[in-house]
Amino acid sequence: MTQHIRIASRASAMATAQVNWLMGQITRTNPAAVPEFVPVTTAGDRWTGPLAEVGGKGAFTSAVAQAVLDGRADIALHCAKDMPGDEPEPDGTLCLYPRRDDVHDVLVHRAGRKLDDLPAGTRIGTSAPRRIAQLSASHPHLTIVPVRGNADTRLGLVHAGDVDALILALAGLRRLGREAEATEIIDTDRMMPALGAGQLALQIRTDDQDLLDLLAPLTDAAATRAALAERTLLRALAGHCHAPIAGHATPTTDAAGDLHLAARVYSPDGSVMLAAGRTGPDPQTVGEAVAQDLIAQGANDVLASSRRS
């Protein structure tokens, strides 16, 4: 029996590549399934001004999730990084997490240079507060230029000479088939990734047991544990991908199967950095403990200062 599976997603080049990947995975693990793409235009896609003015952080994901809640689609495909932690999760849905992609940010420089070799005044395009804070602290001589738009739009700015370089996610470049344009993979110690970086999330209706069974082979236990820890932290800090929060959960190499979550909260210019890290068996407990450590250090005030700026 054929089973139609409607996948809601934005229709940017990166999002379309993600949908194509998911369709391939679904038909590979279930040849009777017929996946179908339900493109969703979000407020974030239509608006080119400051994101805060279209509902900010959730502008991309909530419209896509709505398609599943309304029954227009079966799966809402998101980048976990874009799912805000300061809005309630809609009742009646859950997220499945496939294997995680690379979490690194990369430099894309017009002439192939590396971050440490860039002369003063080099114009680097990025609008992510997390990247701005880390870069301002580590490389204060560079000029940060706000850029918005899809990854392919941003890459166009480097080629047109509007900026000299960009900081982008390696996972996104890979999905666009443009990984070769990265000129340096930046170590996670120097540019800690966003919570949820490189992670896709498949949001489905909780009562859709057939789909849950069908997608089970695509879910990844380690990715799920990391995503749970990182999302617990993001929720506890009421954060989102436009907040200067970085963090990364990784499995420990010991036999216990524990997970380690490292996280940092920055002031907008990176002059204040709070750091915390915990290891343990339960992702939610670890995420909550790291949040409490950061809050005890003043994370809420540091984040409030970035909301005002």
Ligand X SMILES: NCc1[nH]cc(CCC(=O)O)c1CC(=O)O
Rg of the chain on CA atoms, in Å: 19
Give catalytic status of residue 82 as yes or no.
yes
Rounded to a whole number of angstroms, the minimum distance from the CB of residue 81 to ligand X is 5
**Considering beta carbons, is residue 79 or 191 the nearer one to ligand X?**
79
**Considering beta carbons, is residue 127 or 297 the nearer one to ligand X?**
127
Interaction between residue 198 and ligand X (CB under 6 A): yes
The answer to whether the CB of 21 falls within 8 A of the CB of 28 is: no
Q: What does the block give as tokens for 73?
A: 């689609």
- Report the candidate in 194, 189, 182, 201 with the shortest Cα–Cα distance to residue 243: 194
Interaction between residue 211 and ligand X (CB under 6 A): no
226-245 binders of ligand X (CB under 6 A): 241
With tokens 């996670």, the residue in question is: 188
Rounded to a whole number of angstroms, the minimum distance from the CB of residue 108 to ligand X is 10
Q: Collect all residues with Cβ–Cβ distance below 8 Å to 199 and sequence separation of at least 6.
A: 79, 80, 81, 97, 100, 101, 223, 226, 227
Q: What does the block give as tokens for 22?
A: 């998911």
Q: What stretch of H or E contains 282?
A: none
- Report the candidate in 156, 147, 145, 157 with the shortest Cα–Cα distance to residue 121: 145
Binding-site size for ligand X (CB under 6 A) equals 12
Rounded to a whole number of angstroms, the minimum distance from the CB of residue 31 to ligand X is 28
Rounded to a whole number of angstroms, the minimum distance from the CB of residue 189 to ligand X is 18
Interaction between residue 172 and ligand X (CB under 6 A): yes
Interaction between residue 151 and ligand X (CB under 6 A): yes
Which residue among the candidates 45, 70, 74, 82 is catalytic per the annotation? 82
Interaction between residue 247 and ligand X (CB under 6 A): no
**Considering beta carbons, is residue 103 or 299 the nearer one to ligand X?**
103
Rounded to a whole number of angstroms, the minimum distance from the CB of residue 33 to ligand X is 24
**Considering beta carbons, is residue 172 or 287 the nearer one to ligand X?**
172
Is the dihedral angle over the CA atoms 14, 211, 213, 60 positive or is it negative?
A: positive
Which region, left, alpha or beta, applies to residue 257 given φ > 0 means left and ψ of -120 to 50 means alpha? left
Give the range of 180-188, 194-202, 206-214, 258-266 binding ligand X by CB under 6 A. 194-202
The 73-92 site mask, x for binding ligand X (CB under 6 A), equals ------x-xx----------
Which region, left, alpha or beta, applies to residue 156 given φ > 0 means left and ψ of -120 to 50 means alpha? alpha
**Considering beta carbons, is residue 58 or 198 the nearer one to ligand X?**
198
Helix, strand or coil for residue 209? helix
Report the catalytic residues.
82
| Residue ranges that bind ligand X, judged by CB under 6 A | 79, 81-82, 151, 168-169, 171-172, 197-199, 241
